């Protein structure tokens, strides 16, 4: 992971559920409905849960714990009027996860404009299939609840690191915000010549391969967030939660030192826009694929809240600047 990425996003339970292999102690020979393509049925247990609140707002949940199920149960809390999701769709979602045995909130993500998370619907993959079974057959704009047994989530041993002990069911409440369009192959490099950035920005020169060299202006170090678009792309617009493919070059304005650079590593990087520091995310959202931006990030939108980086390359009061080529979305 690149140093400037926010580690917390990668620790997300949903990312863990969606991306990890199922617990090896789970019963792979079970008659679980893990590969079923039809909707998960409803049931008295999931229907007994009170879920209050508008779509797009954090739900208020009341349940009579402990709740146990043998297979995933699904309930439509709010029926949306959009397109029906299908297997293989990449969805943008807001969600809340609860321990159904205790009623304790494990994790809540989203419910702000820039925050939806990407999750792929795949009922054919038995690993953590309860997530997909909960979302299958839903429409965009819907809030659905899935009550998921261990065998269709983390396995029989649970996931104590996420507050889910062995044998405890998972409650997954998800707002389906949109279906992401199919990804367009990322650009190898940008086209066009970069314009000069406004006064107060660094002077940037570019090698033949596009790699930047940043010359910082003399004088007072900036303390305000600012973005300059020096190449205007005409690709799709970057949204909150989108996984971007970029080349980037980061310089500590206070020291003049390069602290991270995908160009120096020789390959682009990819990450969700809600998985990086705030200033970097704010500098990308609303830009178009094919654009080059220079982002000035004051400490409060960078590493100030974390007290700087662990390696000391960025201090808690340091302003940083990035040159970023937006090559594509995944």
| 305 domain-assigned | yes
Among 288, 306, 101, which Cα is nearest to 190's? Answer: 288
Domain final position from 179, 194, 225:
179
Give the pLDDT of residue 322: 98
Residue 195 has pLDDT above 50, yes or no: yes
| 195 domain-assigned | no
Residue 66 has pLDDT above 80, yes or no: yes
Domain match, 253 and 131 both:
no
What CATH number does the domain containing 136 carry?
3.10.50.40
The three state secondary structure string of 291-305 is CEEEEEECHHHCCCC
| 134 domain-assigned | yes
pLDDT digits (tens, 9 = 90+) for 237-258: 998 888 899 999 999 999 999 9
Domain match, 169 and 291 both:
no
Tell me the backbone φ, ψ of residue 169, rounded to 5 degrees. Answer: -80, 160
Domain match, 144 and 22 both:
yes
pLDDT band (50, 70, 90) for residue 78: very high
Domain match, 31 and 78 both:
yes
Q: In total, how many domains does the chain have?
A: 2
Query: What are the residues facing 117 on neighbouring strands?
Result: 93
Taking residues 109-122, what's their average pLDDT?
78
Range of the domain at 239: 203-329
* Helix H or strand E segment including 122: none
Domain match, 158 and 299 both:
no
Q: Which of 33-37, 203-207, 277-281, 311-315 has the lowest mean pLDDT?
A: 33-37
More confident residue, 269 or 159: 269
Taking residues 57-67, what's their average pLDDT?
96
Tell me the backbone φ, ψ of residue 27, rounded to 5 degrees. Answer: -85, 95
| 43 domain-assigned | yes
Domain match, 230 and 81 both:
no
């Amino acid at each position: 992971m690149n140093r400037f990425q926010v580690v917390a996003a990668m620790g997300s339970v949903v990312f863990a559920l969606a991306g990890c292999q199922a617990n090896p102690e789970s019963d792979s020979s079970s008659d679980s409905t893990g590969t079923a393509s039809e909707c998960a049925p409803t049931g008295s247990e999931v229907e007994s849960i009170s879920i209050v609140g508008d779509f797009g707002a954090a739900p208020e949940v009341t349940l009579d714990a402990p709740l146990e199920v043998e297979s995933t149960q699904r309930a439509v809390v709010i029926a949306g009027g959009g397109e029906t999701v299908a297997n293989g769709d990449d969805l943008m979602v807001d969600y809340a996860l609860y321990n159904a045995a205790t009623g304790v909130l494990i994790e809540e993500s989203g419910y702000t404009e820039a925050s939806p998370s990407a999750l792929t619907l795949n009922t054919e993959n038995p690993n953590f299939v309860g997530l997909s079974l909960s979302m299958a057959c839903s429409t965009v704009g819907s809030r659905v609840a899935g009550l998921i047994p261990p065998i269709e989530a983390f396995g029989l041993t649970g996931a104590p690191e996420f507050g889910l002990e062995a044998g405890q069911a998972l409650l997954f409440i998800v707002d389906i915000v949109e279906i992401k369009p199919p990804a367009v192959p990322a650009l190898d490099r940008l086209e066009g010549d970069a314009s000069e950035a406004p006064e107060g920005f660094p002077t940037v020169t570019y090698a033949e391969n596009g790699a930047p060299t940043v010359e910082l202006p003399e004088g007072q170090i900036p303390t305000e967030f600012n973005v300059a678009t020096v190449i205007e792309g005409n690709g799709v617009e970057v949204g909150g939660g989108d996984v971007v493919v970029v080349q980037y070059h980061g310089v500590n304005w206070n020291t003049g030192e390069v602290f991270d650079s995908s160009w120096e590593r020789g390959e682009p990087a990819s990450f969700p826009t809600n998985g990086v520091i705030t200033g970097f995310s704010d500098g990308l959202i609303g830009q178009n694929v094919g654009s080059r931006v220079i982002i000035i990030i004051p400490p409060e939108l960078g590493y100030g809240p974390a007290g700087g980086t662990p390696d000391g390359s960025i201090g808690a009061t340091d302003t940083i600047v990035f040159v970023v080529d937006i090559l594509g979305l995944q």
